[in-house]
């Protein structure tokens, strides 16, 4: 590796080697699968209740598996840094969304198979005459369906982010409580001491994860407030907030992000994730560059100097400190330039001599955040910038349109044959770039993605 031995703090922040990260990641997957399967395995522990038809027992097994997955969703979203570190928090949230569909399918299959086996079980869906155990089951199933609908169609339903977060958390807690009540009232597979312990430990695990995220962590943050030191306008309807904490430094890896509570108490569910845009070498403050896109961000420019703030983080593995290479290719679209700017600024401050290539797709040059700083970075380091405006100005002689396979092939030369690739931007652009890199023979293991818009 060339030009990287000087910045020793990079090695300290990175901590583990790639093989060690791989071992930790594999161990996490094994633990997750074991926790998901344990309720089903406990069904088989003697003494067993009187045998019933295969279809009925199979439906119960699916229900237990689905409930275990739903409970583990709380653990996945509790921001336990050691759990998320091997994968990156964005990948964990993407998995959270996908596994919620799987869990719903398993839970829904439970009553469906019961009705297939015995049509008279349809009466259990009539909550006016059904026994309490069935009412709790119906409530849990309805809430899971509502959680999915609200999450996947939040934009179409015009649900504000903060309202969605509050209702999402509340419905999830009520849903799990109803599901556990159903299991207890049925009682078939919780009648022995060992099986009863399992269904005490599982809800306790979910409760601890919930208390950590909603009570313990905010309490720690409350004692260490930040303040807004500066609010700087940027191109493209974006603003950079400079945050400081008196007498303390903030260590992070370039490319990471934080959850920001601005003005509100850290106990309020009014936090938003933003990438750090400042250099990791400048730890006396942290800068977040925020584009006006939604309810919260539309007024970000009105933030007052001195306003209190709280930060939870840093998080993320989208970082050159995490992925070592002889050279780097950054492909950014729109506001996706933010974490990449942190990596470029850090490399410049460290005197990094490795080659860097930035391909930056923008709607128009006048809207390109940081476009004025990029020439300065080109002078400070081995960086080549390729701007790709979708609407080029008159007389523009550079690239234009979209980031295509042909465009990538024109600019990724031999010096980047062993590069690490970092891609960040709108989802359609990322899909297109991913397909293009695959067609160009870039190994998937060398491409890193930052998935915005997952939360």
Q: Are 59 and 144 found together in one domain?
A: yes
Band (356; pLDDT cuts 50, 70, 90): very high
| Cis preceding linkage at 47, omega within 30 | yes
78-121 pLDDT, tens digit each: 777 766 666 766 677 788 889 999 999 999 999 999 999 989 98
Lowest mean pLDDT among 86-90, 225-229, 277-281: 86-90
Last residue of a domain, one of 220, 242, 277: 220
Question: Quick one: what percent of the chain has pLDDT higher than 70?
Answer: 93
Inform me whether the pLDDT recorded for 452 exceeds 70: no
**Predicted structure pTM score:** 0.82
Whether residues 350 and 301 share a domain: the answer is no
Q: Is the pLDDT of residue 272 over 50?
A: yes
Placement of tokens 């930060």 in the chain: 311
CATH number at residue 296: 2.40.30.10
Rounded Cα gap, residues 361 and 402, in angstroms: 7
**Same domain? 183 vs 275:** no
CA distances to 76, 109, 168, 222 from 149, in Å: 20, 18, 11, 33
Q: Is 455 inside a domain boundary?
A: no
Report the CATH number at residue 411.
3.40.50.80
Evaluate if residue 59 carries a pLDDT over 90.
yes
The domain that holds 13 is classified in CATH as: 1.20.120
**pLDDT digits 0-9 by tens, 116-133:** 998 998 998 998 999 999
CA 397 to the chain's CA centroid: 38
336 and 379 fall within a common domain: yes
Structural domain includes residue 323? no
Distance CA 422, CA 359 (A): 10
Single residue among 220, 237, 269 that ends a domain in this structure: 220
Summarised one tens digit per residue, pLDDT across range 312-323 is 989 888 999 988
* Bridge partners, residue 239, by sequence: 233, 290
What residues contact 275, with CB distance under 8 A and at least 6 apart?
255, 256, 257, 288, 289, 338, 339, 342, 450
What mean pLDDT value characterizes the chain? 87
**One domain, residues 259 and 374:** no
159 lies in some domain? yes
Q: Is the per-residue pLDDT at 19 higher than 90?
A: no
Tens digits of residue pLDDT in 293-309: 777 788 888 899 999 99
**164 lies in the same domain as 272:** no
Residue of higher predicted confidence among 288 and 452: 288
Give the total number of structural domains in the chain: 3
User: According to the model, what pLDDT value does residue 308 have?
Assistant: 93
Highest mean pLDDT among 57-66, 76-85, 340-349, 367-376: 340-349
Both 363 and 269 in one domain: the answer is no
**279-298 mean pLDDT:** 89
Q: What does the pLDDT look like over 360-418, one tens digit per residue? A: 999 999 889 999 999 999 999 999 999 999 999 999 999 999 999 999 999 998 889 89
Pair 210, 233 in one domain: no
Tokens of 234: 């940027």
pLDDT tens-digit profile of 166-179?
A: 888 889 999 999 99
Residue in the block written with tokens 């015995």: 118
β 383-389/356-362 pair status: parallel
Task: Give the residue numbers spanning the domain of 309.
Answer: 226-315
Look at residues 9, 422, 450 and name the one whose alpha carbon lies nearest to residue 257.
Answer: 450
pLDDT of residue 16: 61
């Amino acid at each position: 590796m060339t030009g990287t031995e000087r910045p020793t703090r990079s090695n300290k922040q990175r901590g583990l080697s790639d093989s060690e990260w791989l071992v930790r990641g594999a161990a996490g997957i094994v633990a997750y699968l074991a926790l998901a399967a344990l309720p089903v395995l406990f069904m088989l522990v003697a003494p067993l209740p009187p045998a019933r038809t295969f279809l009925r027992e199979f439906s119960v097994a699916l229900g237990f598996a689905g409930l275990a997955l739903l409970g583990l969703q709380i653990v996945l979203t509790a921001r336990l840094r050691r759990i998320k570190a091997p994968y990156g928090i964005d990948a964990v949230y993407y998995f959270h969304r996908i596994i919620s569909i799987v869990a719903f399918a398993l839970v829904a299959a439970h009553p469906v198979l019961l009705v297939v086996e015995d049509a008279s079980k349809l009466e259990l869906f009539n909550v006016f005459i059904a026994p309490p155990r069935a009412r709790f089951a119906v409530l849990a199933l309805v809430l899971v369906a509502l959680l999915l609908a609200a999450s996947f169609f939040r934009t179409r339903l015009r649900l504000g982010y903060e309202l969605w977060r509050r209702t999402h958390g509340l419905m999830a807690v009520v849903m799990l409580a109803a599901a556990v009540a159903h299991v207890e009232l049925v009682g078939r597979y919780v009648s022995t001491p060992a099986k009863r312990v399992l269904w005490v430990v599982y809800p306790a695990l979910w409760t601890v994860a919930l208390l950590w995220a909603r009570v313990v962590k905010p309490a720690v943050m409350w004692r260490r407030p930040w303040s807004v030191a500066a609010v700087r306008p940027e191109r493209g309807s974006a603003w950079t907030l400079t945050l400081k904490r008196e007498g303390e430094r903030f260590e992070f890896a370039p490319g990471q992000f934080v959850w920001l509570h601005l003005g509100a108490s850290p106990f309020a569910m009014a936090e938003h994730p933003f990438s750090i845009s400042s250099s990791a070498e400048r730890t006396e403050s942290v800068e977040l560059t925020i584009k006006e896109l939604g309810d919260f961000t539309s007024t970000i420019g009105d933030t007052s100097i001195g306003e209190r703030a709280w930060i939870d983080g840093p998080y993320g593995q989208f970082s050159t400190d995490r992925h070592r290479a002889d050279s780097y290719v950054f492909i950014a679209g729109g506001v996706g330039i933010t974490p990449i700017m942190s990596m470029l600024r850090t490399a410049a401050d460290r005197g990094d001599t490795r080659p860097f290539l930035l391909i930056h797709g923008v709607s128009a040059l006048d809207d390109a955040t940081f476009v004025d700083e990029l020439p300065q970075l080109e002078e400070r380091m081995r960086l080549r910038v390729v701007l790709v405006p979708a609407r080029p100005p008159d007389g523009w002689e550079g690239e234009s349109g979209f980031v295509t396979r042909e465009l990538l092939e024109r600019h990724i030369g031999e010096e980047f044959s062993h590069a690490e690739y970092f891609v960040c931007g709108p989802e359609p652009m990322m899909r297109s770039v991913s397909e293009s890199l695959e067609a160009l023979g870039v190994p998937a293991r060398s491409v890193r993605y930052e998935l915005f818009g997952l939360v």
